[in-house]
Amino acid sequence: MSLATIDVSQHILGKNEALAKELRDLYAKHGICVVNLLSGPGAGKTSTILATIEALKDSYHIAVIEGDIASDVDAQKVKEHGAQAVQINTGGLCHLEGAMIKRATEILDLNQTDLIIIENVGNLVCTVDFDLGESFKAMILSVPEGHDKPLKYPGIFQARNVILLNKIDTLPVFDFDTDAFYREIDDLNPNAQIFPISATKHDGMDAWITYLTQRIEEARSVALSE
């Protein structure tokens, strides 16, 4: 890439960081936990969000910010499951940025929100660099994608402390070496927490939901103590 591009990228990233800080302060003030959910296309972000809403909707007010290149099918599904939903169409852009999240957040009723899940664009590369003011990033890898993905897309696995290994019900069908996957993650990111789940079959969701509940309560208690 030419030097000019890198300069522009740095400028955009710098501006994004300022916006992310502003968003993080706003969320903290309202005691809201925000999850930035990343994965490649078709790894199961939407089904994981729907299963998470199902598990938590009686205890917390949940909102979802849906990032897509095009279409609003996911936002429709989220609304049908009883959560607030805001759709962002990036019009071809491969990731979400702070400015988009700021506009989406202005539409939400923050006094009636405990948890915001941001469904990022399906992309294992471009989404990594953009802070969206989230409490934490979680990434989903699905069994059919293969155990070698940490080796091939190390950036996103290094950056994430929460990894959901989805579609574990299909382990008997695929040549997925679970030991090799855990070993690779341990090399790249020894602090990572891995939650094996099947979002559509509602398997293994308890550990993830317990973890997420802790993070929601943490965000609440910080707001109360201020």
Site residues, a copy of itself (CB under 8 A): 1-2, 4-5, 8, 11-12, 40-42, 68-71, 73, 92-94, 121-126, 142, 144-146, 148-149, 151-155, 167, 170, 173-175, 200
What's the min distance (Å) between Cβ of 39 and a copy of itself?
9
Between 94 and 207, name the residue whose CB sits nearer to a copy of itself.
94
Between 66 and 114, name the residue whose CB sits nearer to a copy of itself.
66
Residue 114 CA to residue 121 CA, distance in Å, equals 23
Question: Amino acid identity of 40?
Answer: G
**Strands 62-68 and 84-89, how do they pair?**
parallel
What's the min distance (Å) between Cβ of 55 and a copy of itself?
20
Burial class (CB in 10 A: 0-12, 13-18, 19+), 142: buried
Residue 202 CA to residue 111 CA, distance in Å, equals 30
Nearest alpha carbon to residue 166 among 192, 140, 132: 140
What's the min distance (Å) between Cβ of 216 and a copy of itself?
28
Between 170 and 178, name the residue whose CB sits nearer to a copy of itself.
170
Q: Beta-strand (E) ranges in the chain?
A: 33-39, 62-68, 84-89, 115-119, 136-142, 162-166, 193-196
Q: How far is CA 17 from CA 24, 124, 126, in A?
A: 10, 20, 16
Burial class (CB in 10 A: 0-12, 13-18, 19+), 90: middle
Between 56 and 75, name the residue whose CB sits nearer to a copy of itself.
75
At residue 177, the 3 state secondary structure works out as coil
What's the min distance (Å) between Cβ of 10 and a copy of itself?
12
What's the min distance (Å) between Cβ of 205 and a copy of itself?
18
Between 7 and 218, name the residue whose CB sits nearer to a copy of itself.
7
Between 33 and 163, name the residue whose CB sits nearer to a copy of itself.
163
Between 114 and 145, name the residue whose CB sits nearer to a copy of itself.
145
What's the min distance (Å) between Cβ of 20 and a copy of itself?
16
87 touches 72 (CB < 8 A): yes
What's the min distance (Å) between Cβ of 35 and a copy of itself?
20
